[in-house]
Structure 1
Amino acid sequence: MLEPITSHTLVCFSCSDASSNWACLTPVKCGENENHCVTTYVGVGIGSKSGQSISKGCSPICPSAGINLGIAAASVYCCDTFLCNISGSSSVKASYAVLALGVLVSFIYVLRARE
């Protein structure tokens, strides 16, 4: 008797609110309806007063999005292959230079608005 063909289970890296990608390297099997690996990145601050939060896991939907406001950046990246969400950053990761430039532009804008 032939056994039924079963679909391959997706495996993604998983973590919740980690401050480093090193804490996000635990593989998990996704559920039957979870067809995407998702990485969420949030970064805020200036220079040494900055921080980041990385979350990874499985998802039934693919909510790709991103925003960069200079002193804060957030992005959601999804993919659909075995352990594809290994990177801690995705397309919108804030760099210290971009954060500093955003603050500088904000100060210039505020100073000019007072004149």
Structure 2
Amino acid sequence: MKTTLVTLLAAVLCVVQAYPFMCYVCQEQESNNNCLTISMCAEEDKYCVTVHNYIGTNSNRPKYVISKMCSSICPARGQQQNQTYQRVSCCERPLCNLNGVSSKQSSYGVMALGVLASITSIFACGL
């Protein structure tokens, strides 16, 4: 029975990759709350990307705009041009760019932790 459940868990994890890759998308929004639109990515896309652009100050506070997109590559991070600064975050899991601070390394960590918790739960329940 344990072998069946572990095999089923592995199959479910593999099936997740078969579904279309999706990311949150938006263009130059002032709030992450305006960046919750989900979009299907192209077949070659494997990254969800979040870009924060510093565009000046507003009432003595820095002003940023946020853009989110699908991408086949992870763009260069932390580019500075003239008076603007750009912070780029990339991740490789569907819908992983929700909060805009995900990274490739953290998405792997979360996935590994989820698999470990599932396997531990299966064995702890004695199934």
**TM-score category (smaller protein):** 0.5 to 0.7
Equivalence map 1:11-30=2 (5 Å)? 11-30=22-41
Determine whether 1:65 maps to 2:77: yes
Unpaired segments ≥5 residues, structure 1: 92-115
Which residue of structure 2 lines up, in the alignment, with residue 97 of structure 1? Answer: none
RMSD of aligned residue pairs (Cα, Å): 2.7
Determine whether 1:87 maps to 2:99: yes
Residue 48 and residue 89 in structure 1: after superposition, are their counterparts in 2 closer, same or farther (change >3 A)? farther
Q: Secondary structure at 1:65's aligned position in 2?
A: coil
Determine whether 1:8 maps to 2:47: no
% identical equivalent positions: 37
Conservation of the 8 A alpha-carbon contact between 2:79 and 2:85 = yes
Pairs aligned (count) = 86
Determine whether 1:51 maps to 2:51: no
Conservation of the 8 A alpha-carbon contact between 1:36 and 1:60 = yes
Which residue of structure 1 lines up, in the alignment, with residue 120 of structure 2? Answer: none
Conservation of the 8 A alpha-carbon contact between 1:64 and 1:75 = no
Q: TM-score, normalised by structure 2?
A: 0.56
CA distance in structure 2 between the partners assigned to 1:28 and 1:58 by the alignment: 8
Structure 1 residue runs of 4 or more that deviate by more than 6 Å after TM superposition: none
Unpaired segments ≥5 residues, structure 2: 1-14, 104-127
Residue 54 and residue 65 in structure 1: after superposition, are their counterparts in 2 closer, same or farther (change >3 A)? same
Which residue of structure 2 lines up, in the alignment, with residue 76 of structure 1? Answer: 88
Residue 11 and residue 64 in structure 1: after superposition, are their counterparts in 2 closer, same or farther (change >3 A)? same
CA distance in structure 2 between the partners assigned to 1:88 and 1:80 by the alignment: 13
CA distance in structure 2 between the partners assigned to 1:72 and 1:32 by the alignment: 32
